[in-house]
Amino acid sequence: MVVQRHELDYLAPAFAGDALQLATWIVDCDERFSLTRRFSAGARRRR
């Protein structure tokens, strides 16, 4: 499989020491050539 298009929207920076929570899941697949995934990311600042 080849990635034809990849898009990320960075809403806020993460810093060293932040606790990151990342997730990805498939939302659509034609079982041949096309696959659509969604991603979620969050960070908690450590003081």
Which residue range(s) make up the domain with 39? Answer: 16-47
Confirm whether 7 is domain-assigned. Answer: no
Provide Rg for the chain, Cα atoms: 15
pLDDT score at 34: 81
Confirm whether 35 is domain-assigned. Answer: yes
Confirm whether 6 is domain-assigned. Answer: no
Answer yes or no: is pLDDT of 16 > 70.
yes
Confirm whether 37 is domain-assigned. Answer: yes
Confirm whether 5 is domain-assigned. Answer: no
Confirm whether 4 is domain-assigned. Answer: no
Average pLDDT of every residue of the chain: 83
* H or E element that contains 12: none
| Alpha-carbon torsion (16, 18, 19, 20), positive or negative | negative
| 1/19: higher pLDDT | 19
pLDDT score at 1: 61
Domain count, the chain: 1
Confirm whether 9 is domain-assigned. Answer: no
pLDDT score at 23: 93
